[in-house]
């Protein structure tokens, strides 16, 4: 084991995504390969121990009614995957342990009892993942039920053999086990049960169990499969030293895990506190709070989930009017809305769209949140030129035809091209349903968390269309920036106030229809400020992208370094 190399780089690799879990597995791998503690020439060799073990195990099988293997185990030396120290030997678990499956009297409910003379009924749920021992049980069965089950005693190893199979525990309870357990009984004082438990938890044994259970519809480990497990057997005194060392190192891993959790909790508190000051600002300190946050993005966002929070905060700041300064000389929003209305009227006159009933004025409706005085609340139907459902024609995979965009193409406020199905170019719906650059696509039906996803189409005109469960929102590029409307509709505060309250469940699907969409309220800044907001958001999102790339690169570097150090430590000497 190259412990010096591990310690030298530990500070860099400890924050790798799964570093501590990997270190735990690494300790167990070293343990079963003879690389965790030094060998002692004075120890009795395993070969001598093995002869006594086989004899004692055979006597145990005969005296306690254990079954032997259903067929003679085929002994293949090439099943031994790595070299061992000279004082160790390879054997099979069947050589040194009596193994049997539990039993379940049926129907089990007829045998359950609350009486004191009931026998403890040890279930998988009585074991706590990560614990060594089973110390108590919740249920008991009647004595006559025990005759159809299997008794186990303190010190027996129990191995789960179904569902989350292959996890070992040592029972401190005298009781019965059902057929979801295997009992592994070892001649007393001849093998350290804690060493075998470490073996069963090692990657070597876990992979062996997984391979043995593979292929079945319901994966499980029967007794014969477990009997075939190759066992690297150290001298008994070395087994004790290994167990003591494993306990010491696992305690260290616990400390490292607790320290890491404390660090992450402190980071979370720091991040949440800083972002909270922006989301619920104090007018007197907001400018300073904003400067502090923007100057400290790197320490604020050290994980992908924190960068996601940061992105959401940026969007919320934008739609609250807190991201850029207002300019009193900007043209009033009312002028923009008047021009949008004029454009819409021209489209109606040209028969490009149908005339629709005017939307109710916002009037005295309670505003979802405060916005700057130079902004205005308006409905999406008034900020847009028109909205439109997509094609209902069935699409098919293939290289021919017109690509149809679906909900899966809307990702993080963008429309991306992947997994596109197509409809014939001759479709009657197409001329009016071709997408144009800067169209917004809104997902109107799906699961509740996906309804309301919106993305901006930046592809070429008249070469793609969209599915019927999406709604196209076409904005006036000159008077209400599509990029701003898209940004606003993706802000968390918009979702909380405009989408979530309107979601309706229909036949297991959530839905917010086109009428509801047009009536949603959006905070509209002056056009010049929209440009400033988009520029600032783009600048900050690029910075978030860079932070995310840096975090990913750092995680990959730490993971590769951890992999290299562990690989070096497990290489044969």
Q: CATH number for the 44-234 domain, one of 3.40.50.300, 3.90.220.20, 3.10.20.440, 3.40.50.1000?
A: 3.90.220.20
Arithmetic mean of pLDDT, 342-361: 91
Radius of gyration of the chain (CA): 34
Q: Is the pLDDT of residue 2 over 70?
A: no
Q: CATH number for the 338-523 domain, one of 3.90.1150.10, 3.40.50.2300, 3.40.50.11690, 3.90.220.20?
A: 3.90.220.20
Bridge partners (DSSP) listed for residue 420 = none
Residue range 114-133, pLDDT digits in tens: 888 899 999 999 999 889 99
Arithmetic mean of pLDDT, 204-220: 76
- Tally of CB atoms within 10 A around 515: 11
Residue range 287-328, pLDDT digits in tens: 665 666 666 666 666 788 888 888 998 899 999 998 899 999
The model carries a pTM of: 0.65
Arithmetic mean of pLDDT, 161-165: 74
Q: Is the pLDDT of residue 464 over 50?
A: yes
Of the given ranges (134-143, 424-433, 467-476), which has the lowest mean pLDDT? 424-433
- What are the φ/ψ torsions at residue 549 (nearest 5 degrees)? -65, -40
Cα gap 449→495, rounded to integer Å? 10
Bridge partners (DSSP) listed for residue 467 = 391
Residue range 48-70, pLDDT digits in tens: 999 999 999 999 888 877 876 65
Annotated domain spans of the chain: 1-29+256-330+525-572, 44-234, 338-523
Arithmetic mean of pLDDT, 468-497: 94
Cα gap 50→457, rounded to integer Å? 72
The kind and range of the H/E element at 541 are helix 527-570
Of the given ranges (75-84, 90-99, 371-380), which has the lowest mean pLDDT? 75-84
Arithmetic mean of pLDDT, 384-396: 93
Q: Is the pLDDT of residue 4 over 70?
A: no
44-234 and 338-523, same CATH topology: yes
pLDDT of residue 1: 43
pLDDT of residue 326: 93
Q: Is the pLDDT of residue 564 over 90?
A: no
Could you tell me the pLDDT band of residue 544, with boundaries at 50, 70 and 90?
confident
Q: Across the chain, what does the average pLDDT equal?
A: 86
Q: Is the pLDDT of residue 563 over 90?
A: no
Tokens of 239: 């087994």
Among 196, 163, 199, CA closest to 181: 163
Residue 470: half-sphere exposure toward Cβ, Cα within 13 Å: 27
Q: Between residues 210 and 197, which one has the greater pLDDT?
A: 197
Concatenating the DSSP letter of every residue in 295-344 gives: HTHHHH--SHHHHHHHHHHHHHHHHHT-SS---TTSPPHHHHHHHHHHHH
């Amino acid at each position: 084991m190259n412990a010096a190399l591990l310690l030298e780089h530990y500070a860099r690799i400890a924050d790798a995504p799964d570093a501590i879990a990997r270190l735990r597995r690494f300790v167990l791998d070293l343990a079963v390969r003879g690389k965790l503690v030094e060998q002692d020439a004075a120890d009795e060799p395993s070969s001598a121990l093995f002869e006594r073990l086989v004899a004692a195990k055979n006597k145990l099988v005969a005296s306690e009614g254990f079954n032997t293997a259903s067929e003679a185990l085929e002994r293949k030396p090439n099943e031994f995957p790595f070299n061992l120290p000279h004082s160790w030997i390879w054997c099979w678990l069947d050589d040194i342990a009596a193994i049997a499956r539990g039993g379940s009297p049926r129907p089990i409910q007829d045998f359950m009892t609350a009486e004191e003379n009931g026998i403890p009924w040890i279930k998988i749920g009585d074991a706590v993942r990560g614990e060594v021992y089973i110390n108590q049980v919740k249920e008991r069965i009647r004595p006559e039920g025990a005759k159809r089950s299997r008794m186990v005693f303190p010190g027996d190893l129990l191995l789960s053999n179904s569902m989350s199979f292959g996890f070992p525990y040592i029972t401190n309870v005298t009781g019965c086990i059902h057929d979801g357990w295997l009992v592994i009984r070892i001649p007393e004082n001849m093998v350290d049960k804690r060493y075998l438990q470490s073996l069963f938890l090692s990657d070597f044994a876990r992979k062996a169990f997984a391979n043995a259970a593979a292929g079945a519809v319901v994966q499980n480990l029967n007794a014969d499969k477990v009997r075939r497990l190759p066992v690297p057997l150290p001298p008994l005194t070395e087994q004790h030293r290994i167990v003591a060392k494993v306990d010491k190192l696992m305690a260290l891993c616990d400390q490292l895990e607790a320290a890491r959790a404390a660090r992450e909790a402190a980071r979370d508190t720091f991040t949440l506190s800083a972002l909270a000051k922006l989301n619920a600002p104090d007018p007197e300190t907001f400018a300073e709070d904003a400067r502090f946050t923007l100057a400290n993005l790197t320490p604020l966002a050290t994980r992908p989930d924190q960068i996601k929070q940061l992105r959401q905060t940026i969007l919320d700041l934008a739609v609250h009017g807190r991201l850029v300064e207002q300019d009193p000389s900007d043209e009033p929003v009312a002028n923009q809305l008047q021009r949008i209305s004029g454009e819409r009227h021209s489209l109606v006159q040209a028969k490009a769209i149908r005339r629709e009933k005017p939307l109710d004025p916002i009037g005295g409706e309670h505003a979802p949140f405060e916005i700057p005085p130079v902004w205005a609340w308006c409905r999406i139907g008034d900020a847009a030129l028109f909205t439109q459902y997509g094609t209902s024609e069935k699409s098919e995979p293939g290289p021919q035809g017109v690509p149809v965009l679906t909900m899966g193409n809307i990702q993080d406020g963008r429309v991306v091209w992947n997994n596109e199905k197509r409809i014939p170019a001759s479709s009657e719906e197409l001329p009016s349903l071709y997408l144009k650059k800067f169209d917004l696509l809104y997902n109107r039906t799906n699961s509740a968390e996906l309804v309301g996803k919106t993305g901006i189409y930046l592809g070429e005109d008249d070469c793609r269309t969209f599915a019927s469960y999406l709604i196209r929102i076409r904005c006036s590029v000159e008077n209400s920036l599509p990029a701003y409307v898209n940004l606003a509709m993706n802000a968390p505060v918009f979702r909380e106030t405009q989408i979530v309250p309107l979601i309706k469940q229909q036949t297991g699907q959530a839905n917010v229809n086109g009428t509801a969409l047009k009536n949603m309220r959006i905070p509209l800044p002056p056009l010049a400020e929209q440009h400033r907001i988009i520029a600032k958001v783009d600048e900050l999102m690029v910075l978030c992208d860079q932070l995310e790339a840096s975090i990913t690169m750092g995680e990959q570097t730490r993971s590769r370094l951890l992999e290299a150090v562990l690989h070096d430590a497990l290489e044969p000497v």
